[in-house]
A and B are shown apart, each in its own frame.
Chain A
Amino acid sequence: MKFGVLVFPGSNCDHDAYWTASKVLKQPATLLWHGSHDLENCDAIIVPGGFAYGDYLRTGAIASFSPVMESVRKFAAGGGIVIGICNGFQILCESGLLPGALMRNVGLRYVCKPVHVRVENADTPFTNACKPGAVLEIPIGHMEGNYFCDDTTLADLKRGNRILFRYVNPQGEATAQANPNGSLENIAGIASEGFNVLGMMPHPERSAEAILGCSDGLRVFQSLAGAMVKA
């Protein structure tokens, strides 16, 4: 049950994910340097939030060419569990591990606030500790979280039940007002075809302890730990 948290130059949620995995979830965890191909036999890879390579060129674009991402692509191709959070989601899209892209928020501003997301599919390694339709409070903090994909991809995502989280209001309704960034169909997180890769804009590590105001985000980590025990 070993977590590996990638560290790119400019990652700034790497230590947060590491803390949640190792101290809150109490699982073995290690930091993995972007310049190395070695995933150190980790069972799950977290691509953390931040500004990898300064987000120059385009968010996540440069990181996708890093040596460690070559290994992550191979790992994912073999069914390995990968979760990209915020900038990590952007990197996974740029790396081709997830479809679509994250555009600039409709408000053209960085937005940091707690939002509600609804669990659309609870039968995945990332959500199995949640009830289907559960509403979780998890914060966002991003400038480019406006998910977009073409119609064919959207149809694929829906058909495969691969939309795992949608932005909703506290009552669980996916309204326009509950959408903080203009994402297509209020999409907050999607999975790969094999359900081993997740990308999500909200930061579950930021609501994983009561002292932070909410611990709903811990469910995502607990799901992962549960999934790995089963595996």
Chain B
Amino acid sequence: MLNDMLNKMPNATIAASAAITPQLLKDHGITADEYARIEAALGRVPTLTELGIYSVMWSEHCSYKSSRVHLKRLPTTSARVVQGPGENAGIIDIGEGWACAFKIESHNHPSFIEPFQGAATGVGGILRDIFTMGARPVAVMDSLRFGPVSADGVGHRKVDETTIHRNHSILDGVVRGVASYGNCFGVPNVGGEVKFEYCYSGNPLVNAFALGLVKIDEIFYAKAAGVGNPVIYVGSKTGRDGIHGATMASEEFSEGSEAKRPNVQVGDPFMEKLLLEACLEAMQTGAIVGIQDMGAAGLTCSTCEMGARGEVGIEIDLDKVPQRETGMNAYEIMLSESQERMLLVAEKGREEEVFAVFRKWGLDAVTVGVVAAAPRLKVFEHGQLVADIPNTSLTDDAPLYHRPVGTWQPPVPHDIPANIQLTASGDQTSALYRMLAASNISSKRFVWQQYDSMVQTNTAEGPGGGDAGVIRIKGTNRGLAMALDGNGRWCYLDPSLGAKHAVAEACRNVVCSGALPVAATNCLNFGNPEKPEIMGQLSAAIDGMSEACVALDTPITGGNVSLYNETLGEGIYPTPVMGIVGIIEDLNHLTHMHFTQSGRAVLLLSASTPADSATAVREFGSSDYAKEVLGTLWGTPPALDLASEVRLQRCLLQLIQSQVLDSAHDCTEGGIAVALAECGFRYGVGARVNLASNGKPLEVTLFGETASRIVLSCDQINVPRIQQVGVEYGLSVTVLGETVPDTLEISVEGTVAVAADVSGLRDRFEAALPQALAADSALVAGD
């Protein structure tokens, strides 16, 4: 028995020390200071395996060494939070005996190097984080960022054909990767977002969100306990793939980064589906004490983290680890990031119950180690001790950097450039067409139609249908709404304000579907933290996010930080992405964004006090119109008053729950003109409306992105009631006009500025992305 074998060599001597050279440390991304700390923690020179273990556990990706001091400022608790940051996923109480586990995580670096597998394993990793907690994944979403896919509307930067072609290829690979994994695994993709900016050409962002349901008294934790309990390895065999993946994800890219392709893991969604079913079934036996997935840093991370959480040690024998390749050494086995593997601790004597379940599903399940009293990670290979490290030196005592925090000043003008003339009158119909075709606004059907959005038969609102994705919870009358949001361009102009907007907009999207936002997860995508101005962006974004999450009562229960998103020294826009989860208490309150019939009142519910014209024009520089039509960027993001935003969302939820609305749609990218057009697409119902300009230029009135506004439609008889409720919340409720068949007509101060067929607008909205990709004929064959 393994147990006996380990017991026989408690005093085994450690293997030979590594020959430490500056080059060896550099190859492991370990600084001289960090190395000194390693020697101090061990009291000796590390073995090569130990050096490898430290290099991954102390990498930015695993240790959050640059961001941890700042992350502490985020709110993480509320009455609903069952599990905050620090576990595989956050968990909240959603009522009626149910809890939901959810998290968002990045897979940016692997997705640039190998888009299909990088994105696929990003989905696979986040799904394991969910089901390792005992929750069955019931929804996924993705927040994706790519470089421009056409030469039009790339803002203030020129982009060449080669780059556009490569961006097409990255988008296609990422989407196919996400689709292949999620579709086979059998989890619906219910929404998310796809945006395009110049800065993501050499560094796409792939942030995968997953949410699962678990009975509140059946949650599992990644904690080892019970000295003498067996440590069991389950799932795929270990190969040489993904070695040093976490370290790679903690570096900037340079010429030749594509050569790191072998660092990217290869996913097998079929195996993951089996692992899901087997793990959930094994959990039902009652024989499992703790369980953690092997994601980044694989066996290393799972062993030392489970030990650290349980304040015990784990001793493993690598000879027992199922291996896909021959001749793997301890270093390779410990650092492999082979996918679809789990480590669990079972009750001693009940191993067979666990093995039987995994046998049924045709999976490997092998006892590879034992829980020990001393809180150390001990690794044996061929009877020799090859690593012996105190757990906490790898986890809690990992380096923590107070990196210099500089001030970020965006290199753009504060005011509108003199050569740009905005107008007071004229026809803006063609501008609306152009905006609907803008890459950040146009339909993403090409993307989400490749995702299974309906499996599990819970999808009440899927992608493309509303502001948030909604699933029902079987056996209850409840639903969960979820939305992802992030605006890198706004964060580039003002990281704090941009981050506040991401929280506010994601919450607003969730409220529009009839849900109360209750919790958040975040993915912080930034550049190189060793540059003070990048730390300035990160710190400011965290402050803004924190303030908004407190105001909107959506604590952050987990997430992920992705730094070093730079290629050849050029960073991405600071891109914090928020995932917000909300609860629909009664599915009868589920609300959609679409106008349903003609003759209904169209209203604008607004918490924003009208800005003076100069301010509005300054804010207009951050809009999609400025980027797309004017091809430039200036000024600041729209102002956001969080107290007003909270009132807006509470008011909207009250209106929805009192069932006086037909539809509700958040008014953001592309402003009110785009929002009104979008409301008409599903049923071909348009609107005839009149807008007040308040002295602003026409383009600003139509396409300005003033915050905290919702387009509503309702039965005319409900208008007075809605106005009354709006007044009670201190909001303005403006009757814009009414819905009409087939056409959209928008007047400003009584003069028609836009007149178009809804079907024509929709065609342009739908065709833009496929047309942009048509340059690569292989990408758009068929539907």
Q: Which residues of A contact B (CB under 8 A)?
A: 9-10, 12-13, 15-16, 19-20, 23, 49-51, 53-56, 105-113, 139, 141, 143, 180, 182, 203, 205-206, 208-209, 211-213
A54 partner residues in chain B, CB cutoff 8 A: 184, 268-271
A212 partner residues in chain B, CB cutoff 8 A: 454, 457, 459-460
User: Across the interface, do A112 and B449 meet the contact criterion of CB distance under 8 Å?
Assistant: yes
- Name the 10 nearest CB pairs between A and B, nearest first: A107-B782, A12-B186, A54-B270, A16-B457, A51-B184, A107-B783, A141-B452, A206-B454, A106-B782, A112-B452
Task: Name which residue of chain B comes closest to A35, CB basis.
Answer: B360
Which B248-291 residues have a C-beta within 8 angstroms of A?
A: 268-271, 273-274
User: Across the interface, do B454 and A141 meet the contact criterion of CB distance under 8 Å?
Assistant: yes
Q: Quick one: given A107-B782, A141-B452, are A10 and B457 in contact (CB under 8 Å)?
A: no
User: Across the interface, do A180 and B783 meet the contact criterion of CB distance under 8 Å?
Assistant: yes
Q: How far is the CA of A122 from the CA of B60 in the complex (A)?
A: 63
State whether the Cβ of B221 lies closer than 8 Å to any Cβ in chain A.
no
State whether the Cβ of B587 lies closer than 8 Å to any Cβ in chain A.
yes
Q: Quick one: given A10-B270, A110-B183, are A211 and B460 in contact (CB under 8 Å)?
A: yes
Q: How far is the CA of A205 from the CA of B362 in the complex (A)?
A: 28
A15 partner residues in chain B, CB cutoff 8 A: 456
Q: How many A-B contacts at CB < 8 Å in the complex?
A: 98
B211 to chain A, nearest CB (A): 17
Task: Name which residue of chain B comes closest to A53, CB basis.
Answer: B270
Task: Name which residue of chain A comes closest to B187, CB basis.
Answer: A12
Query: Among B179, B273, B451, B783, which residue has its beta carbon within 8 angstroms of that of A12?
Result: B273
A107 partner residues in chain B, CB cutoff 8 A: 781-783
A220 to chain B, nearest CB (A): 14
Task: Name which residue of chain A comes closest to B448, CB basis.
Answer: A112
Task: Name which residue of chain A comes closest to B464, CB basis.
Answer: A113
Q: Which residues of B contact A (CB under 8 A)?
A: 176, 179-180, 183-186, 268-271, 273-274, 361-362, 449-457, 459-460, 472, 474, 587, 590, 781-783
User: Across the interface, do B186 and A13 meet the contact criterion of CB distance under 8 Å?
Assistant: yes
A180 to chain B, nearest CB (A): 6
Q: How far is the CA of A205 from the CA of B458 in the complex (A)?
A: 11
B608 to chain A, nearest CB (A): 33
A109 partner residues in chain B, CB cutoff 8 A: 176, 450, 781-783
30 A-B residue pairings within 8 Å (CB atoms):
A9-B274, A9-B362, A12-B184, A12-B186, A12-B273, A13-B455, A16-B455, A16-B456, A16-B457, A19-B474, A23-B474, A50-B186, A51-B270, A54-B269, A109-B450, A109-B783, A110-B180, A111-B783, A112-B183, A112-B450, A113-B449, A139-B454, A141-B452, A143-B183, A203-B454, A205-B457, A206-B457, A211-B587, A211-B590, A212-B460
User: Across the interface, do B274 and A10 meet the contact criterion of CB distance under 8 Å?
Assistant: yes
Query: Among A12, A20, A53, A55, which residue has its beta carbon within 8 angstroms of that of B455?
Result: A12
Task: Name which residue of chain A comes closest to B271, CB basis.
Answer: A54
B474 partner residues in chain A, CB cutoff 8 A: 19, 23
B95 to chain A, nearest CB (A): 18
User: Across the interface, do A108 and B781 meet the contact criterion of CB distance under 8 Å?
Assistant: yes
A64 to chain B, nearest CB (A): 17
Question: Besides the contacts A13-B455, A109-B783, what 7 more A-B pairs have beta carbons closer than 8 Å?
Answer: A51-B184, A53-B270, A107-B781, A112-B450, A112-B452, A139-B454, A206-B457
A207 to chain B, nearest CB (A): 9
B443 to chain A, nearest CB (A): 13
Q: How far is the CA of A53 from the CA of B781 in the complex (A)?
A: 28
A80 to chain B, nearest CB (A): 25
User: Across the interface, do B449 and A211 meet the contact criterion of CB distance under 8 Å?
Assistant: no
Q: How far is the CA of A109 from the CA of B525 in the complex (A)?
A: 30
B592 to chain A, nearest CB (A): 10
Q: Quick one: given A112-B449, A180-B783, are A12 and B270 in contact (CB under 8 Å)?
A: no
B185 partner residues in chain A, CB cutoff 8 A: 12
User: Across the interface, do A141 and B782 meet the contact criterion of CB distance under 8 Å?
Assistant: no
B460 partner residues in chain A, CB cutoff 8 A: 211-213
Q: How far is the CA of A23 from the CA of B457 in the complex (A)?
A: 12
Q: How far is the CA of A107 from the CA of B456 in the complex (A)?
A: 25
Q: How far is the CA of A106 from the CA of B783 in the complex (A)?
A: 8
User: Across the interface, do A182 and B782 meet the contact criterion of CB distance under 8 Å?
Assistant: yes
B284 to chain A, nearest CB (A): 15
A13 partner residues in chain B, CB cutoff 8 A: 186, 455
Interface of B is mostly: loop
B270 partner residues in chain A, CB cutoff 8 A: 9-10, 51, 53-56
User: Across the interface, do B184 and A111 meet the contact criterion of CB distance under 8 Å?
Assistant: no
B456 partner residues in chain A, CB cutoff 8 A: 15-16
A20 partner residues in chain B, CB cutoff 8 A: 457
A208 partner residues in chain B, CB cutoff 8 A: 457
Q: How far is the CA of A96 from the CA of B526 in the complex (A)?
A: 55
A180 partner residues in chain B, CB cutoff 8 A: 783
B474 to chain A, nearest CB (A): 7
Q: How far is the CA of A203 from the CA of B450 in the complex (A)?
A: 16
Q: How far is the CA of A19 from the CA of B474 in the complex (A)?
A: 9
A117 to chain B, nearest CB (A): 16
User: Across the interface, do B450 and A111 meet the contact criterion of CB distance under 8 Å?
Assistant: yes
Task: Name which residue of chain A comes closest to B460, CB basis.
Answer: A211
Q: Quick one: given A12-B273, A51-B273, A112-B452, are A105 and B782 in contact (CB under 8 Å)?
A: yes
User: Across the interface, do A110 and B450 meet the contact criterion of CB distance under 8 Å?
Assistant: yes
Q: How far is the CA of A20 from the CA of B474 in the complex (A)?
A: 11
User: Across the interface, do A112 and B184 meet the contact criterion of CB distance under 8 Å?
Assistant: no
Q: How far is the CA of A143 from the CA of B176 in the complex (A)?
A: 11
Interface centre among B450, B474, B590, by most chain A C-beta atoms within 10 angstroms, is: B450
User: Across the interface, do A108 and B782 meet the contact criterion of CB distance under 8 Å?
Assistant: yes
A101 to chain B, nearest CB (A): 19
Interface centre among A20, A49, A112, by most chain B C-beta atoms within 10 angstroms, is: A112
B180 partner residues in chain A, CB cutoff 8 A: 110
Q: How far is the CA of A140 from the CA of B451 in the complex (A)?
A: 11
User: Across the interface, do B184 and A10 meet the contact criterion of CB distance under 8 Å?
Assistant: yes
Q: How far is the CA of A208 from the CA of B457 in the complex (A)?
A: 9
Q: How far is the CA of A112 from the CA of B176 in the complex (A)?
A: 13
A141 partner residues in chain B, CB cutoff 8 A: 183, 452-455
Task: Name which residue of chain B comes closest to A12, CB basis.
Answer: B186
A136 to chain B, nearest CB (A): 15
Q: How far is the CA of A114 from the CA of B183 in the complex (A)?
A: 16
Query: Among B274, B361, B452, B781, which residue has its beta carbon within 8 angstroms of that of A110?
Result: B452
Q: How far is the CA of A56 from the CA of B450 in the complex (A)?
A: 20
User: Across the interface, do B457 and A209 meet the contact criterion of CB distance under 8 Å?
Assistant: yes
A214 to chain B, nearest CB (A): 11
Interface centre among B449, B453, B454, by most chain A C-beta atoms within 10 angstroms, is: B454
B781 partner residues in chain A, CB cutoff 8 A: 106-109
Q: How far is the CA of A16 from the CA of B455 in the complex (A)?
A: 8
Q: How far is the CA of A106 from the CA of B782 in the complex (A)?
A: 6
B472 partner residues in chain A, CB cutoff 8 A: 211
B449 partner residues in chain A, CB cutoff 8 A: 111-113
Q: How far is the CA of A209 from the CA of B184 in the complex (A)?
A: 24
Q: Quick one: given A9-B361, A109-B782, A111-B450, are A19 and B457 in contact (CB under 8 Å)?
A: yes
B333 to chain A, nearest CB (A): 25
A39 to chain B, nearest CB (A): 19
Q: Quick one: given A9-B361, A9-B362, are A112 and B453 in contact (CB under 8 Å)?
A: yes
A213 partner residues in chain B, CB cutoff 8 A: 460
B137 to chain A, nearest CB (A): 11
Task: Name which residue of chain A comes closest to B590, CB basis.
Answer: A211
Q: How far is the CA of A107 from the CA of B445 in the complex (A)?
A: 14
Q: How far is the CA of A13 from the CA of B184 in the complex (A)?
A: 11
A49 to chain B, nearest CB (A): 8
B563 to chain A, nearest CB (A): 33
User: Across the interface, do A10 and B452 meet the contact criterion of CB distance under 8 Å?
Assistant: no
B123 to chain A, nearest CB (A): 14
Q: How far is the CA of A76 from the CA of B362 in the complex (A)?
A: 28
B783 partner residues in chain A, CB cutoff 8 A: 105-107, 109, 111, 180
Q: How far is the CA of A12 from the CA of B472 in the complex (A)?
A: 18
A106 to chain B, nearest CB (A): 5
Q: How far is the CA of A19 from the CA of B271 in the complex (A)?
A: 24
A105 partner residues in chain B, CB cutoff 8 A: 782-783
B587 to chain A, nearest CB (A): 6
Q: How far is the CA of A209 from the CA of B362 in the complex (A)?
A: 35
